[in-house]
Amino acid sequence: MMLRDPRRLLRVSVAPAAALAVAVLSSLSRCSLLEPEDCVISALSPYFGTKTRYEDVNPGLLLDPEAPRRDPELLEETCTPVQLVALIRHGTRYPTAKQIRKLRQLHGLLQAREPGDDKTCAAGSHDLRAALAAWPLGYAEWMDGQLVEKGWQDMRQLALRLASLFPALFSFENYCRLQLITSSKHRCVDSGAAFLQGLWQHYHPGLPPPDIADMECGTPRINDKLMRFFDHCEKLLTEVERNATALYHVEAFKTGPEMQNIVKKVAATLQVPVSNLSADLIQVAFFTCSFDLAIKGVKSPWCDVFDIDDAKVLEYLNDLKQYWKRGYGYTINSRSSCTLFQDIFQHLDKAVEQKQRLALS
């Protein structure tokens, strides 16, 4: 799986005939700390994109998040895994500092309301606005996208699933052939550390893992040029990142009727002037529902601000941005990833060559 926001890469070489490369870029959030019947859900969950919890995509994780699952027709006895390459997003994280500042701005608008300003509100709108005003902000700027405890658990359990799914590749003899390559983003470095903790748990069940620096195989290796290739492609930076017109279609949609209808609706709910809100603030409010579900396992009042039709519009807005900034909107977007994919296929080719040489010897 390749999501165009890589932050870390984990790589391991295995037996002489095999090489194992696992890229840990990120994982989505989940509510696996809760019992299945206690897992809080929201009708908006299918529209959160990469901020969706694992359980909302794969409910089987609720039953046993450490149990591997695969198509029974895959990897039959006649098939021997030679190499594993995985590109995975980082574990569940806090909102970024930028998102938290926007959320604080929204919270400030609610707190600034005068007691008498609610007299003209409909009862339902008044109740929801009051609930939002009373709902604790819950996030501080120092959190700035850091991995939350559930994110550590995400990666530990992912390691356990992969080790169980590919026991030959993840044998103890191959443990120190594992290489973890990550970007310098703290949530990615921590995701790699959590992955290694999960492997330690696999190899040493019942024993608490030591510090990553004290493990046999060492710490993850940082390589931003490989893992954050989009920050090191000058043509991408010039034509897209630094180009004020590159996201023209996104900005046009933000001011279009679909988004402006949602802005007006939310303004009426919060009882604030429409001019105090923007599409960016609305999107942060929408994702706050997702963050609270993923991080805290609770359904916040922000989830009640939007209905399914709103969610579809906001999902489209996010997809539109990714299309032009990271997807197929510009040819350079995909070409900028050639360095990473070249690295992956070089390791795949090497593994096949080694396997073929052994077969002929």
Query: Tens-digit pLDDT profile for the chain (361 aa)?
Result: 333 344 455 554 443 333 333 433 333 333 333 344 445 778 999 999 888 887 788 787 788 888 887 776 666 666 778 888 888 889 999 999 999 999 999 999 988 865 555 555 555 567 888 899 899 888 999 999 999 999 999 999 999 999 998 888 898 888 888 888 999 999 999 999 999 999 999 999 988 888 888 887 778 889 999 999 999 999 999 999 999 999 999 999 999 999 999 999 999 999 999 999 999 999 999 999 999 999 998 999 999 999 999 999 999 999 999 999 999 999 999 999 999 999 999 999 998 898 888 888 7
Predicted pLDDT of residue 83: 83
CA distance 17 to 179: 16
Q: What residues contact 323, with CB distance under 8 A and at least 6 apart? A: 329
Written as six digits, the tokens of 64 are 């046993």
Cα dist from 293 to 96, 132, 151, 302, 334, whole Å: 16, 16, 13, 11, 32
**Alpha-carbon distance values, 281 to 53, 99, 206 (Å):** 22, 9, 46
Parallel, antiparallel or unpaired: strands 221-222 and 19-26: unpaired
Phi, then psi, of 11 in degrees rounded to 5: -130, 140
Is 90 one of the catalytic residues?
A: yes
Q: Is 223 helix (H, G, I), strand (E, B) or coil?
A: coil
Q: Please identify which of the residues 90, 126, 232, 249 carries the catalytic annotation.
A: 90
Q: Residue 151: left (phi > 0), alpha (psi -120 to 50), or beta?
A: alpha
Confidence at residue 115, expressed as pLDDT on a 0 to 100 scale: 52
* Exposure string for 268-278, b = 16+ CB within 10 A, e = fewer: ebbbbeeeebb
- Roughly how many angstroms between the first and final C-alpha of the chain, as a whole number? 35
Alpha helices in 19-148 (DSSP H): 54-57, 97-111, 123-134
Q: How far apart are CA 218 and CA 191, in angstroms?
A: 15
Length of the chain: 361
The residue type of 293 is L
The pLDDT value recorded for residue 26 is 32
Q: Identify the pLDDT of residue 303.
A: 94
